[in-house]
Amino acid sequence: MTGAAGGPELTEQAGAGEPDAFVRLWTPHRMAYIKGEGKPAGTSECPFCRAPALSDEDGLVLARGERVYAVLNLYPYNSGHLMVVPYRHVADYTELTAGECGELAAFTQRAMATVRAVSGAQGFNIGMNQGSVAGAGIAAHLHQHVVPRWGGDTNFMPVVGHTKVLPQLLADTRALLAEAWPAPVG
């Protein structure tokens, strides 16, 4: 249904509580995610523990360091969305050693430089979700997201259409970023 301005019609929805001015976008498919269905329970099931044992191409690994590695996100928010992950299976940022923290920071800097060089990213969202209640999809293994951003990269498709438009296959993105990844300094 559409209203006079072409947008959704504001109607009372049975069982939705008190009528108000909000339009509700129902996403029942997210309930499986909220309940934790299909999430790894232990290190043998952890995709961040498995990825380094695979070839770079099969694991979507961009670069490997001594203590951390960079890997593409299987479910990216934008093209080039990658994560910096410690090899060690730890859940909380406070559990990292000083060496792991340092290399994680250096890899984040290299990730930003690489994505900018390859795709002209205009900005980044960088962060970690600590714990499942904070939104961590895989809370048992720490990982830092590096999400490239461009002006106008968010539109109605993911919000209304539950569709993310990505102009490049993950394997092609991995090849471009891995090739451009700068060597460690020093």
Q: Could you give the residue numbers annotated as active site?
A: 143
Largest CA distance in the chain: 64
- What is the bridge-based pairing of β-strands 144-149 and 61-64? unpaired
Q: How far apart are CA 150 and CA 172, in angstroms?
A: 19
Angle at 84 between CA 34 and CA 47, to 5 degrees: 50
CA distance 9 to 3: 4
114 three-class SS: helix
CB burial of 39-51 (b: ≥16 within 10 Å; e: otherwise) equals bbeeeeebbbbeb
